[in-house]
Structure 1
Amino acid sequence: MRSILCSLAHEQGEIFMSKTSVEHQHSDTAEVAAGYRSVACKEYPETTIGADYLAEHFISTSHKFLIKFGFVRKLGIVKSRKFTPGGFKYVLARTAFFDQQLLNALGNGAKQLVILGAGFDTRAYRFAEQCSGCKIIELDIASTQNRKKECLLNAGIAIPKNLTFASINFNLESLQDVLREAGYDNALQTVFLWEGVSMYLQQSAAEATLQFVGACKNTESLLVFDYIATIADSEVDNYYGVKTWRETWARYRQAEPFKFTIDDSQIASYLEGMGLSIKSHLKEREIEERCLPQPGYK
């Protein structure tokens, strides 16, 4: 195999609502994930899931004000559990896990970081020192990327000189072409982060991304990503929270519907067909057990 990956299985959930497509407005799911990280930073500041001290700069002014109050944060967590069971815990554990994998990859010699669908990812800024010897490329749709640049400017957060922003619509544009224009070096040992993105892409776009990574020249390159497992309608009741998530998305998430899934039972052969081999494959509960603070986490 030309590259290795670490993949996670989950059903993801967020509860802020919008019906405007990401082509015309920044991604709501990206802002909600930043909101979760902001809450965690205040609720669990001494833990790895509370480590994103920059996240609050990417949420609305009203939400930034409200989460100052502990009772509001707790009400928000309760609401999340109602509309998207398990979503809050998973997103926080996922963030901590991706942090770990990035730092491990940098420690193992990675010289290039590509963040696919970066949203309001803050790793290039939180880990600026660790990434100082690394070429960084953040890719996302222009509406979200422009909003991110605006937030960075307003917060006075310096953009590292080794970071390049590249706008892309994964469903319409060639990842290879966009990365080439951004200065991507196919020969460098690279860590690709693809967090909370694959499920929103058309199948052709998601598979094109996997195939691109699988064709990397450097065999030490690593893809870290999460995905939604394929679940038949007849099996929905057998999985915790899935029915509620689907109802929430059908009612409130027309702008960012789930499109891409992977059959868990076929994932090894499926990814091998993309030129990838599995280094680690963890379920959401395994991610949470590894990354959520214990004991005392609620």
Structure 2
Amino acid sequence: MPPRPSDRLNPTPSAPGAALDSSRASLSAGGSAALRADHLLHQQPVVFRDPWALALTPEPMRSAVESGAFGRQLDELELRPSQGGMLARALFCELALDGARRREGLAQYAILAAGLDSFALRLDPEPGPLSVYEVDHPASQRAKRERLRELGGEPDGVEFAALDFEREELEAALARSSFDPGRPAFFSWMGVSMYLTREAFRRTLASVRACAAPGSRLVFDYPIPQERLAPEFLEVARRKNESLAEMGEPRISTYEPAELHAELAGLGFELVEDVGPEEVDARWFRGRRDGLRSNPESRIAHFRASG
């Protein structure tokens, strides 16, 4: 059983160290950490609890989260659905992972485009042994590992595999780790599909399948075409697109669910579940009064490798 994270690690916001360098790290990864931290600090009830999110959030966003300014800006820009979508995909993924560990004994977890994900810091060994593999762009990964060292050290039981998704195959990155492609694994791939060309997206899916033994699981989120959105959501979607483009991370692709399912089936994946905003709201956001709700642009899909 892999050991729990080192007792030296400290998730409190007062932990020493400089902020992440946004010229090297993914800005959207920093924003995702800030969204998780804002939720834990300022919203009730808590949907997804991440006590490491604030410490991982780069400055100046970290201070803005603590003061509440970050949350106020979310309200002003009507971006609470984006926050809700991010929280929902994290919760959906980790619930699916927990189920696979308990029911099927899956013992390998590959987090593709891990960003500032904190799962390895929160790893619960109770369901059984789990080896964690974080796969990400080299610059983003270097910045994250630097921040982890500032917080006390990298957690035990995690390996880091650098990969440029536009230029290299997943097999090459995982081959540089102890990952065993002959054993079933759980793959998560969150918050990435909209930033890739369709060709890069298909190539990565095929690369995942090449690494996925029968019984492996794949969970990812994806955006639907904006013409399918209700009129009241179009302006918010336009502003979000502009903001991401200004950050240097423009959204490139959208996907039709039926076409996506057929494409995955052709690669040898069976659909387990594809959840849209209505189901997300019913599961986790019903009755809230703080504006937190599902992202109307996003769906979350869960597939199983056949064979």
TM-score (norm 2): 0.78
2:30 paired residue number: 31
The letter of the residue matching 1:169 is: D
| Contact 1:215-1:275 within 8 A present in 2 as well | no
| Contact 1:34-1:56 within 8 A present in 2 as well | yes
**Aligned partner of 2:133 among 134, 137, 161:** 137
Following the alignment from structure 1 to structure 2, what is the Cα–Cα distance between the partners of residues 206 and 131? 32
The letter of the residue matching 1:165 is: F
Q: 1:237 to 1:166 in 2, by over 3 A?
A: closer
- Which aligned pairs between 1:152-163 and structure 2 lie closer than 5 A? 152-160=148-156, 162-163=157-158
1:172 paired residue number: 167
1:76 paired residue number: 73
Matched residue SS, 2:271: strand
Is 2:58 aligned against 1:60?
yes
Q: 1:79 to 1:102 in 2, by over 3 A?
A: farther
Shift of residue 92, structure 1, vs aligned partner: 1.8
Following the alignment from structure 2 to structure 1, what is the Cα–Cα distance between the partners of residues 47 and 213? 30
Shift of residue 145, structure 1, vs aligned partner: 0.7
* Larger displacement relative to structure 2 (92-101 or 141-150): 92-101
Q: How many aligned residue pairs are there?
A: 269
The letter of the residue matching 1:75 is: R
Q: 1:115 to 1:31 in 2, by over 3 A?
A: same
Shift of residue 159, structure 1, vs aligned partner: 1.6
Matched residue SS, 1:269: helix
The letter of the residue matching 1:29 is: S
Q: 1:240 to 1:87 in 2, by over 3 A?
A: farther
| Contact 1:89-1:288 within 8 A present in 2 as well | no
| Contact 1:57-1:152 within 8 A present in 2 as well | no
Query: What is the Cα-based RMSD across aligned positions, in Å?
Result: 2.6
Structure 1 segments unaligned to the other structure (5+ residues): 1-21
Q: Between the two structures, name the one with larger relative contact order (CA 8 Å, sep ≥ 6).
A: 1
Q: 1:110 to 1:237 in 2, by over 3 A?
A: closer
Following the alignment from structure 2 to structure 1, what is the Cα–Cα distance between the partners of residues 229 and 280? 23
1:4 paired residue number: none
Shift of residue 132, structure 1, vs aligned partner: 6.7
Shift of residue 127, structure 1, vs aligned partner: 1.6
**Aligned partner of 1:90 among 79, 85, 94:** 85
Shift of residue 259, structure 1, vs aligned partner: 2.1
TM-score (norm 1): 0.80
| Contact 1:198-1:227 within 8 A present in 2 as well | yes
Shift of residue 154, structure 1, vs aligned partner: 1.5
**Aligned partner of 1:271 among 264, 268, 288:** 264
Shift of residue 128, structure 1, vs aligned partner: 4.7
* Larger displacement relative to structure 2 (173-182 or 34-43): 173-182
**Aligned partner of 2:250 among 257, 263, 269:** 257
1:210 paired residue number: 205
Shift of residue 293, structure 1, vs aligned partner: 6.6
Matched residue SS, 1:227: strand
Cα deviation code 1:122-152 (max 9, x no counterpart)? 1111125358712211011111111111211
| Contact 1:23-1:143 within 8 A present in 2 as well | no
Structure 2 segments unaligned to the other structure (5+ residues): 1-20, 292-307
Cα deviation code 1:3-35 (max 9, x no counterpart)? xxxxxxxxxxxxxxxxxxx99521111111100
Q: 1:152 to 1:212 in 2, by over 3 A?
A: same
Following the alignment from structure 1 to structure 2, what is the Cα–Cα distance between the partners of residues 216 and 181? 13
Shift of residue 295, structure 1, vs aligned partner: 4.8
